[in-house]
Structure 1
Amino acid sequence: MNISVLGCGRWGTFLAWYVHKVGHNVMLWGRENSRNYIGLKETRKNDYLPLPEDIVLCNSLEKAVSFAEMIIISISAQELRSFANQLSSINEIDGKTFILCMKGLESASGKRLSQVFGEEIGKKINLAVWVGPGHVQDFVNHIPNCMVIGSENVDITKKIVQEFSSDLIRFYYGQDLIGNEIGAATKNVMGIAAGMLDGFNYSSLKGSLMARGTREISRLVRAMGGNDITIYGLSHLGDYEATLFSEHSHNRKFGKAFVEGERFGKLAEGVSTVRALRELSKQYDVELPICSAIYEILFDDKNAKETLEDLFLRPVKFEF
């Protein structure tokens, strides 16, 4: 099958490498003037992996879309609306399957990425999300993991799983798009919180963060019309090891650097997500104490140590 991957950052390049590895013809698209694209064009590799010679690199969206039956998108979540708008003008888009491989929410509106994409495309397409735990650094060293494909059309879900399954990634069928998308996005906020705890040598509190974080997000998912149990699956709790503990996690490293007063130069999607959660908390009238605390630390200049201690160490209440 012909597959295009739109976005040639760390994750997009890995996805091109992976779907090629499982036997597909792959075209990898990047913006002509982006540092990632220029680097791949010149050296056929990035910091994580070499790009196989028969993966075609291109900078034409029209060419990438017309080439493929399935199109994987891996860009910054906050760029998705404008990018989808750009895609909507391409004539050959009808009937194709798009797979969103990013974890986030639209910062200003709190909307899920499938909603954002659907609003802008406005054409007859198939849409799915690919979420769950896993780092490029582990996968390229043949360390396997489990992930989730979710869609509102179970036949599309099954087809994607059939095409992409391997010994390296075992896929599960996602049955709850709301829960899977909210879970995947919000685990990045918990990752920032975990990094802050690490920065204060409060790593032992990450167990409390996991227990209370899952409860908090499950309440939000239920209020939004999803299945609260989804949060205890791979998209959220299942991704905690990779996000709260892994040396590779950008969000954890961002949180740690933030409280240590250091600059972290890479994308931490949880920063935008926590803005979106502020909006969702109001829309659905659901208290999100951990997310609110992280928002106040990042955007209201609240003292991080005092705020986290208040959150975890001082309330006296029944657990359930």
Structure 2
Amino acid sequence: MNISVLGCGRWGTFLAWYVNKVGHNVMIWGRENSKNYHTLKDTRKNDYLTVPDSIEFTSSLETAVSQAEVIIISISAQELRSFAKQLTTIDGIENKTFILCMKGLEATTGKRLTQVFSEEVGKNINLAVWVGPGHVQDFVNDIPNCMVIGSEDVEVTKNIVEELNSDLIRFYYGQDLIGNEIGAATKNVMGIAAGMLDGLGYSSLKGSLMARGTREISRLVRAMGGNDLTIYGLSHLGDYEATLFSPHSNNRRFGEAYTKGESFGKLAEGVSTVKALKELSELYHVELPICDALYEILFNHKDAKEILEQLLMRPVKFEF
């Protein structure tokens, strides 16, 4: 099968490496003006892996899309709408399979990424998400993990899993697209909160954060029409180890750097997700105390120590 990966950051490059490893013909697309793309193309390596000679490179979006049956997208979630508009200018995208491999929500609207993509590209495509735990640093060292493929069409889900399943990544069928997308996006928010606790020396409170975070997000998913139990699966709770505790997690590292007053140069998608959750909280009339606390810290510049102590040491109440 011919598969194109649109995006050549850490995760996109790994996805190309992986789908090539499981036996597919792969092309990586990157922007012509991207230093990251040219470095990867010229050296065939980044900080994490070496790209096999069998993988092709192109800066032509039309070439990457037209030659592939399956197109994997791995870019910033906040760029997806404008990127999807670009894709509509390419002939022949109908009936292709697109897999979104980002974990986020549109900050200005709170919309899920499949909603954003469908609004721009239309319905004449097969659309899925690839979410769940795992770090490039572990996968390239043959440390396996479990992930989820989700779609509104179970046959699309099954076809993707059949083509991509391996001993390195064991896929599960996602049965609740709303829950999988919200879960995957919001675990990054919990990752920022965990990093802030680390930075403040309150790491032992991460257990409480996990317990309360899953409850909070499950209420939101239920209000949105999804299955609240999905939050306790791989897309959210199953990804907590890789996000709340891992030294590799950008969101956790961002939160820790923030409370220490240090700069952090890499993308922490959870920051934009906090904004999106503010929209969803108001739209669905669901209280999201942890997300609200992070909003106060990140956007209203409230003191992180004070806000998090107030949040996690609230007045006595029944647990459930």
TM-score greater than 0.5 by the shorter chain:
yes
Q: Aligned partners of 2:93, 2:111: CA distance in 1, in Å?
A: 23
Aligned residue in 2 for 1:143: 143
What do the CA deviations read for 1:101-146 (whole angstroms, capped 9, x no partner)?
Answer: 0000000000000000000002510000000000000000100000
Q: Aligned partners of 2:174, 2:22: CA distance in 1, in Å?
A: 21
Q: For residue 184 of structure 2, what is the amino acid of its counterpart?
A: A
Q: For residue 273 of structure 2, what is the amino acid of its counterpart?
A: T
Give the match's secondary structure for 2:115.
helix
Q: Aligned partners of 1:132, 1:242: CA distance in 2, in Å?
A: 9
Q: Give the unaligned 5+ runs of structure 2.
A: none
RMSD: 0.5
What do the CA deviations read for 1:248-276 (whole angstroms, capped 9, x no partner)?
Answer: 00000000000000000000000000000
Give the match's secondary structure for 2:17.
helix
Q: Aligned partners of 2:10, 2:228: CA distance in 1, in Å?
A: 31
Q: Aligned partners of 1:30, 1:54: CA distance in 2, in Å?
A: 17
Deviates more, 1:272-281 or 1:116-125: 116-125
* Pairs within 5 Å for 1:92-107: 92-107=92-107
* Pairs within 5 Å for 1:17-32: 17-32=17-32
Q: Give the unaligned 5+ runs of structure 1.
A: none
Q: Aligned partners of 1:121, 1:228: CA distance in 2, in Å?
A: 29
Q: For residue 255 of structure 1, what is the amino acid of its counterpart?
A: G
Aligned residue in 2 for 1:84: 84
- 2:34 equivalent to 1:46: no
Q: Aligned partners of 2:232, 2:303: CA distance in 1, in Å?
A: 31
How far apart are 1:313 and its partner, in Å? 1.6
Give the match's secondary structure for 1:315.
coil
Q: Aligned partners of 1:305, 1:236: CA distance in 2, in Å?
A: 25
Q: Aligned partners of 1:82, 1:36: CA distance in 2, in Å?
A: 20
Give the match's secondary structure for 1:115.
helix
Q: For residue 300 of structure 2, what is the amino acid of its counterpart?
A: D
- 2:239 equivalent to 1:239: yes
Q: For residue 6 of structure 2, what is the amino acid of its counterpart?
A: L
Q: Aligned partners of 1:31, 1:216: CA distance in 2, in Å?
A: 38
Give the match's secondary structure for 1:5.
strand
What do the CA deviations read for 1:54-100 (whole angstroms, capped 9, x no partner)?
Answer: 10000001100111100000000000000000001111101100000
* Pairs within 5 Å for 1:169-248: 169-248=169-248
Aligned sequence identity (%)? 80
What do the CA deviations read for 1:42-64 (whole angstroms, capped 9, x no partner)?
Answer: 21111110010010000001100
Give the match's secondary structure for 1:17.
helix
Give the match's secondary structure for 1:149.
strand
Aligned residue in 2 for 1:287: 287
Q: Aligned partners of 2:24, 2:317: CA distance in 1, in Å?
A: 54
How far apart are 1:315 and its partner, in Å? 2.1
* Pairs within 5 Å for 1:264-303: 264-303=264-303
Give the match's secondary structure for 1:93.
coil
Aligned residue in 2 for 1:124: 124
Aligned residue in 1 for 2:10: 10
Q: Aligned partners of 1:314, 1:228: CA distance in 2, in Å?
A: 24
Q: Aligned partners of 2:138, 2:85: CA distance in 1, in Å?
A: 34
Q: For residue 316 of structure 1, what is the amino acid of its counterpart?
A: V
What do the CA deviations read for 1:139-173 (whole angstroms, capped 9, x no partner)?
Answer: 00100000000000000000000000000000000
What do the CA deviations read for 1:205-246 (whole angstroms, capped 9, x no partner)?
Answer: 000000000000000000000000000000000000000000
- 2:34 equivalent to 1:34: yes
Q: For residue 218 of structure 2, what is the amino acid of its counterpart?
A: S
Give the match's secondary structure for 1:146.
strand
How far apart are 1:41 and its partner, in Å? 1.6
Give the match's secondary structure for 1:186.
helix
Q: Aligned partners of 2:262, 2:64: CA distance in 1, in Å?
A: 39
Q: Aligned partners of 2:107, 2:160: CA distance in 1, in Å?
A: 28
Q: Aligned partners of 1:42, 1:171: CA distance in 2, in Å?
A: 33
How far apart are 1:35 and its partner, in Å? 1.9
Q: For residue 121 of structure 1, what is the amino acid of its counterpart?
A: V
